[in-house]
Chains A and B, each alone.
Chain A
Amino acid sequence: MARTTPEINASSMADIAFLLLVFFLVTTEIDIDEGINVALPPWSDVPPPPVELNDKNTLTVLINSRNQLLVEEELDDIDNLRKRTVEFLSNNGRNPELSTNPQEAVVSFKGDVGTSYETYIQVYNELRGAYNDLRNDLTRKKTNGRVSKFSDLDRATRDSILIEEIKFEMPIRLSEAEPTKLGK
C-alpha cells in the first residue's frame, strides 16, 4: 500500500492572510497629494529693488495681519481678486491704468507675519488661478477648442513648441515679497 502524505489543514491560512491584509490596509496611504507649485527666487544677500507701487504694470496685493486684502491700495474681497487679476493681465493697453501687456505685467504680493496661512493660500490660489485661466483661454484658442486646459496640453499634443509659445505669451510673473512685521 502506497503511503500517502497526510494533508495539511489549510483552513487557517485564510485567517493568517486576512490578518496580513488588514495590517497593510491600515498602514497604507494610496492617495496622491496635490499641491500648488511655487518656484522660490534664489537667495542673495543683496536686498531686492523696491517694487514701484504706482507703476501701471504692477498689481499690488497686500494682506494684513487681520486677513484683510488691499488691492491697488483699496480694500477688496478675495472673491473679486481673480476677476481683477485677469482684467489687469489681459488689458493689453486698453485701459491706461492697467498693464500694457502680459509680458510686462507683474503681480506683487505681500503678506504680514500675522496673516493666517489659510488666507494666504486663498489669495495665492486666486492669483495663480487668474494666470491659469488666461493660459487655458490661450490653449483653447490655439488648439481650436480641442484641448481646454493648459496642463493637459503636454499629454494631449506633445507639442513643446506650442507650450513654450503659451508660456511666453502669458508668463507667470508673480512676485512675493517678505511679509511685513506689523502683526506681531
Chain B
Amino acid sequence: MKYKITHTTVYQYADKVSLSQNQARLMPANLAQQTCLESELRISPVPSFQYSYLDSFNNLVTHFDITVQHQILAVTSTHVVEIAQRPQLELVYIDTHWEAVHSSVHRPLNKAGLDIYLHSLPTTYTHSTPDILAYTQVSFSPGRDMLMACKCLMERIFNDFEFDSQATTVNATAPDIFALKKGVCQDFVHVALACLRSIGLACQYVSGYIETFPPEGEEKLVGADATHAWYAVFLPSHGWIEFDPTNNVLPSNQHIRLATGRDYLDVAPLKGLIYGGGDHQLDVSVDMNRIN
C-alpha cells in the first residue's frame, strides 16, 4: 500500500521573531515493513542553515535556523511511503510468559541489550504510581503469556479511557491522565508505557500517521487527518511489537512510523526556540491519502 502524506505546521506570532532554531522529526524511517519513496521538507522563511543527523533512537532529525525576522513559520513535509503488511501476530504462537521477558530485558549482554533495557525505565511523562502498578497487574498476572497480557492491557486502556481532546494538554503525565481517565492518543500511550515500565518491561513511544476514513457517505476533508501515536513492546524473540491503544488494534498497514523514543519528548515532530514573537497561534493539518 502506498500513501502520500502532507503534514503542515504553521506558527503565527504576534510580534516579530528575530531568531528561530528548531528540530524537526518529520522524516519517515525506512524499516522492514515501511519504505519511504519520496520525501520533502519545505520551510518558510528559508532557513539560513540546516543539517540532519540520526539521534540516539535512530530518528532522522532536521535542525534548521531562521535568522531573518518573521511573523509566520511554516513547515510542510510531504512523503510517499509504501507499507508492507506487518506479520499477523494472531497467527504466531508466542509462548513466553512476561516474567521471562522481564528477566531478559534486565540482563543485557551487550550494548544492544543495554539500549533495550533503557526503554524499561520510567521517564518524566511515564513514571508510575501504586494505582498504575495495580492496574497493570490485572493484565500481567503471574505466569501469563506476554502477548496475551499486552493485548489485554491495550484493550483495557481502550475501554477504560475516554477520547477527549480538551481534557489534557501536551504536558500531561501518565499519573495525571490515569486519574482523569481521559485524553488523546499521546496520553493513552503514556499511560500504557507507564504501566509496562512499572513492571520493568521495555517499551517505546511511536509517533506517526494513521489513515482515517470519513463518515459513510461523506467526502474526506482536506487537512482533517492528524498525527498519531502508539507504542511498541520488546519481545526477545520478535523484536518490537506495536500496539495502538486509541483504536485497540495491532498496527498492520495503515500506520506510518515517523519516530520512536522513550516518550513524547524524544519524538516531538517540531520543537524549537525563538527570540521575540510574543503570543503565537498554531495550526496543524495532515492529509494522508492512498495512491496507486
A binds B: no
**Contact surface of A with B, Cβ cutoff 8 Å:** none
